[in-house]
Structure 1
């Protein structure tokens, strides 16, 4: 009994809805029917009374945002979810949803899950500033860039196995040669600092003030330990800037090149 109570205190249940779960045309997207059925199916499979964060996993161009938000609001009112959350939406889409929620007095998105690492920094342009402005939580994914920033990859270093060579989506996502140049720079820098690249990569993501926590994954205890060690890294703003200079800083959201991205930090 004590163990079950303890688990309930430290585990947050997150569920995503969008991608097809069957051949039925209604088994995908963010329609009201799909949202409600997806929540009920997850509650049944997980044998729980509620979901902490119910993520819309992608943007559904065929369903009005109002319909999706109304379904999320109903689920929250029924006590089946605590908070709506969003992943893989553009900043303007999230901002539009927040405006609708405020106008219609609906439950709003409270948590964002963007991709964010040293070679994928687009979230810095608008998503992270939006989250900071609206006091939304951010749990970013892929802090190691699908192992690109672990020291295993470089311009002339390509393992025979690994997600970057075995899975097409990661090959497409990180295949640009500039990413491998950054990986080389970062690996050399980590060696100079005497810190495992995985540890430093996660610490860099954590040091962004808009990020609540990075999502880490591991295939074994060694990989997990190197990521968890990031919690002990004292990343100063100056150190963060030094590491950031190893990759390309994304252009500002406006057309004024002199705009400083650091204004929102």
Structure 2
């Protein structure tokens, strides 16, 4: 396992981060423990969860798994989702953030989070209020570093600008979607992260399972078939065609498509870690194998060529 520094923090994390969205839902607590222990055995020290995963059960299970060895792990949770009765059921207001972090810490059985991320952008709350609330959490010692997930590049940059202007804690890490069929992060987000020295933990390296090849059979089962949101996200025929080419390439190269898909993500120079999750310990094994797989620059270029090129970031230099 390779360990990488998260942005400017000096914190070293495994190049694979264990995602726990399935814990307490699609994966029972017993199976979650098996997934966790397999990941630890592979060298993973980076764990990602969120207050909304399985209605809070994910955090509770993670807390029990970390009991007695909390300091061995770098722990991430996220805030935004709606867990309480309306009208103040979620979002990025100071009121919700303060309540949410206290609840997350209680469920996780810890006194602090290493990284605390906004789960998405909240257009109803000024970033000044949100960033001020996060800054207060850092000053109180409840959170060590802050960040955000699912922002557009301009939203990340606006937040960084406000933090610099107002002397607030700046984002240390971001969490964008990134995989072979969803490469939009390459346009602005990943170049921005390199320029600003932000840690990057990417999610959905397998495209909801599309890149595993398991949906090519006669009786496909899994998130992509069962979840309408994922069908909308990954149902384009161009994505399906890219996945088919990728799986064929992986088989010809003699490597599990899961291993190759994850290794492709972690090989991007902006990426600190790829988040890997599973319903079973057997499923997580080939993802963990990506940590030891050597993806040559030539092989990465061949894999990338299987996917249609994303538009280049447009800075108007060609119009000068």
For residues 238-253 of structure 1, the aligned pairs below 5 Å read 238-253=298-313
State which of 97, 102, 114 in structure 1 corresponds to 2:176.
Answer: 114
* Alignment map for 1:222-261 (pairs within 5 Å): 222-254=282-314
Unaligned runs of 5+ in 2: 1-64
Mapped pair 1:166 → 2:211: no
Aligned-pair CA distance for 1:133: 0.8
Name the structure 1 match of 2:198.
Answer: 136
1:12 has 2:74 as partner: yes
Q: Deviations over 1:147-193 (max 9, x none)?
A: 10112134xx4644211110011111001011110111001101110
Any residues of structure 2 matched to 1:171-190 within 5 Å, and which? 171-190=231-250
Change (3 A) 1:237 1:72: same
Does structure 1 residue 28 correspond to structure 2 residue 90?
yes
Question: Number of residues paired by the alignment?
Answer: 255
Shift of 1:257: 9.9
Paired position in structure 2 for 1:201: 261
Compare 218-227 and 134-143 and name the one that shifted more. Answer: 218-227
1:149 aligned partner: 211
Which consecutive aligned stretches of 4+ in structure 1 deviate over 4 angstroms post-superposition? 3-6, 255-259
> How far apart, CA to CA, are the structure 1 residues paired with 2:243 and 2:318?
28
Question: In the alignment, is the contact (CA less than 8 A) between 1:153 and 1:180 conserved in 2?
Answer: no
Task: Write out per-residue CA displacement over residues 203-249 of structure 1, whole angstroms, 9 at most, x where no aligned residue.
Answer: 10011011001000122232221111111221122221111000012
SS of corresponding position for 2:242: helix
Once the two structures are superposed, what CA deviation does each residue of 1:55-80 show, in whole Å capped at 9, x if it has no partner? Answer: 10111111000000000001100101
User: Are residues 86 and 44 of structure 1, via their aligned partners in 2, closer, same or farther at CA, if it must alter by over 3 Å?
Assistant: same
Taking a change above 3 Å as real, the CA distance of residues 163 and 99 of structure 1, as seen in their structure-2 partners, is: same
> For the aligned residues, what is the CA RMSD?
2.0
CA distance in 1, matches of 2:96, 2:268: 35
Matched-pair contact (CA < 8 Å) for 1:124–1:250? yes
- The one of the two structures with greater contact order (alpha-carbon pairs below 8 A, sep at least 6) is 2
CA offset at residue 131 of structure 1?
A: 0.8
Cα distance in 2 between the residues matched to 1:185 and 1:158: 18
**Structure 1: gaps spanning 5 or more residues:** 260-265
Which one has a larger percent strand, Structure 1 or Structure 2? 2
- Once residues 181 and 66 of structure 2 are traced to their aligned partners in structure 1, the CA distance between those partners, rounded to angstroms, is 40
Length-normalised TM-score, structure 1: 0.91
CA distance in 1 between counterparts of 2:160 and 2:295 reads 32
**1:153, 1:183 within 8 Å by CA — same for their partners in 2?**
no
Kindly indicate whether the alpha-carbon contact (under 8 Å) linking 2:67 and 2:109 is maintained by their aligned counterparts in 1.
Answer: no
User: In the alignment, what sits opposite 2:43?
Assistant: none
CA contact (8 A) 2:146 2:172 kept: yes
**Residue correspondence of structure 1 range 49-64 to structure 2 within 5 A:** 49-64=111-126
How far apart, CA to CA, are the structure 1 residues paired with 2:187 and 2:93?
30
